[in-house]
Structure formats: structure tokens, C-alpha cells
Structure 1
């Protein structure tokens, strides 16, 4: 499994980095929208949509929501701030699991809204990030998430003892999260050294790295919450060794809105 993960990452990561820098913004946005559509298809399974028509309707609905709001700056801002509030509520669902499951999973409308708020804010945040800040900052976000994920994995394997959320994701540890944050800070420090950024802004950027790395863990935990409730191991099988698209972008779903809004505050 580890070998498959490494091979898949070595193939896909360079291709995605090439797309970030080489593809025109419009085409890159459409590429990301494909990921959103695939993620929505997988999410329909996580919320126990079994009929093909229902799954297709959810996928089409989420894509349509993304397309409708993409050119309206005021609606985009509202959706991004709504996403921040939604992720703060998700902290409560994660910490209270398995209690309160009837509130966030049983009502159909809540499950549908969860899919919309999981994927649509991520997409608009990512396309806005590339358009307003450029490819360098888009890559920075990806490297922070990849660094946090790798740092958490290896730190957790080496010294992880205290469980972060054992009822949701038994493999995650507090030590792993700290290691992931440390890796994200290293990524940010390297970025700051190669960018023309005033030194009086360094602290703000480092705080942003800490927030984004921490929130990325929440994205992972939320997907684990849905998978555990639906008794599903992986969201899909499209990526050898990695599972589905949602298994790869779960951290990004939470991190992207926080990163974009955080940059706007610096």
C-alpha cells in the first residue's frame, strides 16, 4: 500500500504542479471543477445515497452552485465566511461523536448542505487564490497541506501516543498534529526566504501556516466522521494507494477558505 501511495504521488504531484503554473486560469478552474464533481459523487456515497439518479443530482447540484457564484464577488465572500462558521461547528460534531449524530447526519437536508459547504467554498477559494495571488501562493497552500500531512504521519508513527480523536480517527495523535504544524512552518519559512515579503509580516504568515495546518486536520477528521458513520473505509478507488478524490482533498476542503481569507487579512 505504501509503495502504491508513493508511486501515485510521484506521478500526480508533478502533473498537478505543472497545471498550477502552465494552464490558463480558466482551464485550470475547469480542472478543479472536475475534482469537485468527482468529490461530490463520492460524497453522495458517504451520505448513503444509493440510487444513481440521487447521486447524479447531488453531483450536478454542487457543480451548478459553484458555477453560479463564481463571478459574484459578494456572494463568494459570503460563502467563504459561511464556510468558516460551518467548519467551526464541525469541530463540535467531531468532538461529540458519536453523540449528536442524529443532528448532523440523519436529516437529509443537512447532509446535502454539508456536501455543498464541503466542496463549493473550496473551489471558489482555490480559483480566487490563483487569480488574485498567483501560482506561487497556490503552490504554497498545497505544500503547506502536503507538508502538514507528511509531518503528521511520520511524527505520529515515531512518537504518537496521545490520541487526537480516537472515536473518529484512531490513527491520529496530538504529537502527529504538532509534527504536521512544524512541517508547515518549515514550508512557510522557506517560502518567505524566496519571496519579497517585508520582515514585519513574517509573524502573520507563520500564524497563517499554523492555522491552515491545524484546520487541514479538521477536514480530514470530518471526512472520517462521515466514513465511520456510513461504515466506509475509502471514499473511492480512483487513486491507487490513496483511495478516492475526497481522500486526497479532504484537508484542502477546510484549508482553502481559511488560507484565502487569512491572506486577505495580512
Structure 2
């Protein structure tokens, strides 16, 4: 894919999530985000070796029902959503171990396929919970947009720093193109975003260090999310999750980093008292 194609697609698509996050009421946003995430989950079924339409629809329906049940039973406290977001944080910590042992579940057996389907659900459902939790809070649309923006900043910083300075491979057995220099570039971009944007989030200077810590944790998580999808593609022999976005692949290729960053960001925001 060419850099021009990537940039053109990104510029055309970027206004849509921004407008949705800022203008839609939380229930409408929750429904829209659920639809997008379920589209990504449909692509994920290919990682698990599902090719027949009926099992793929059944898996998608089960996740849709779970999301609907969470939305129905959330209540004003949003406790179920917060609990699932915390579960998501624990899941991504476990994913680190999986990335360090990339041969785990690399096979076509039913056990490996079932684990990868579970991995898809554990990636998608907590991310939905986290975004709805963020959007429903005080200055929620701004916080939700900031969470999305920090992942964009991390991806962009990593892409440009990695392209220019990348020497030391991050995880060559999983994603040979990713470098430690790219990681540092992404973290730097996120820290800069925190410095530029903390006032818009209703925060003061004293809260800036906590915000920087939060964005750095979420940025690190976004790298783990990216690596997990790369691992799934390597296991399945797929280059992209789909072809819906020119230069960017499928829906899941655009969501992988967000799926990990959102639960970490939402839980971390609550933990740090921001």
C-alpha cells in the first residue's frame, strides 16, 4: 500500500468518528460503535478459521446479544460496563504473554479456533464498554474523542519514527516491520497530545502529569493490540483483515490498537481520578 493512499483514506474517514463522538447522544453512539465493532468481529472470525456463513453469523449474534444485554442492564452507574472494561485490561495483560510466545495456539484445531474466537470477544466487548463509559461521563464526548486521538497520535508517531529511524525490531516473530524507535515515536506524540489538550478536558496543570501517565499507558496498550492482530494474521496466513478501506485493509486493521487502548484508558482515568 502507498503512503499517499493511506493518508488520503485517513483524511476522508477522520471527520466521521469525530462528528459522531461530539454530536451523537451516548445511546446512539453506543449503537453505532457496536455496529462497527461487530463488523470488525466478523473479519476476526477468519483468523479463527471460520469460513462457513452460519457459524460466523451465530458467533456475531452471540456477541451482539451480549452487548445489547450490557446496554440494557447498565443502569445509571454503568457498573457492568466498568466491570467488563476492567476485564479487558486484565485480558490485554494476558495478551502480552501470548505475544511473547507467538507459537501458542498456532494451529487449525478446534481448541485453537475457539481460543481465537474468545480472544475476539475479549477484545471487542470491553472496548465497547470502555468507550460508552467514557462518553457518558462529564465532558464525555471530549474524553472519548481524546482517547481516539491518542491512538491516532501513537500510530502516526510510530509510523513516521519507525520509517525514518527504525533499527531495532520490536517483535520480529510477530510483526517484522515494527521497531522500538517507532514505539518511542508514538509515545512522544501521545505525550505531546496530552500537553496540548489537557485544558480542553477540564484539567489543570497539577493534573497534567497524571494525564501524561494515562496516555502513555494507553499508548503502550495500543501497541499490544496491534501486535495481537498481527499475530492472528500470521497464524491464519492473512495479510489484511479485509479490503474495505483502500490502503488500510479491513475494519479490524483500523480498530486493533483502539481495542486495547480504550479499556486501559477508561480504567486508568478512573484509577487516577481524572
Q: Does structure 1 residue 212 correspond to structure 2 residue 244?
A: no
Q: Does structure 1 residue 97 correspond to structure 2 residue 98?
A: no
Q: Does structure 1 residue 159 correspond to structure 2 residue 165?
A: yes
Q: Secondary structure at the match of 1:123?
A: helix
User: In the alignment, which of 165, 180, 189 is matched to residue 183 of structure 1?
Assistant: 189
Q: Secondary structure at the match of 2:243?
A: coil
In 2, the alpha carbon distance for the partners of 1:247 and 1:88 equals: 21
Q: Is the 8 A contact 1:5 1:240 kept in 2?
A: yes
Cα root mean square deviation, aligned: 1.8
Query: What is the correspondence of 1:73-112 to structure 2 with a 5 Å cutoff?
Result: 73-99=78-104, 101=106, 106-112=111-117
Q: Is the 8 A contact 2:48 2:114 kept in 1?
A: no
**Paired positions, count:** 266
Number of the residue aligned with 1:229:
235
TM-score by length of 1: 0.95
What's the offset of the Cα at 1:151?
A: 0.3
Q: Does structure 1 residue 238 correspond to structure 2 residue 250?
A: no
Query: What is the correspondence of 1:7-22 to structure 2 with a 5 Å cutoff?
Result: 7-22=8-23
In 1, the alpha carbon distance for the partners of 2:176 and 2:143 equals: 33
Q: Secondary structure at the match of 1:93?
A: helix
Deviates more, 1:154-163 or 1:130-139: 130-139
Superposed CA deviations along residues 58-83 of structure 1, whole A, max 9, x for unmatched, are: 11111111111123333323222221
Superposed CA deviations along residues 98-126 of structure 1, whole A, max 9, x for unmatched, are: 25646x98434322221210100011111
Q: Is the 8 A contact 2:47 2:116 kept in 1?
A: no
Number of the residue aligned with 1:41:
42
In 1, the alpha carbon distance for the partners of 2:202 and 2:25 equals: 24
User: In the alignment, which of 125, 147, 154 is matched to residue 148 of structure 1?
Assistant: 154
Number of the residue aligned with 1:3:
4
Consecutive unaligned residues in structure 1, runs of 5 or more: none
TM-score by length of 2: 0.92
What's the offset of the Cα at 1:184?
A: 0.4
Q: Secondary structure at the match of 1:98?
A: coil
Q: Is the 8 A contact 2:44 2:252 kept in 1?
A: yes
In 1, the alpha carbon distance for the partners of 2:21 and 2:213 equals: 25
What's the offset of the Cα at 1:214?
A: 0.7
Consecutive unaligned residues in structure 2, runs of 5 or more: none
What's the offset of the Cα at 1:194?
A: 4.0
Q: Is the 8 A contact 1:62 1:115 kept in 2?
A: no
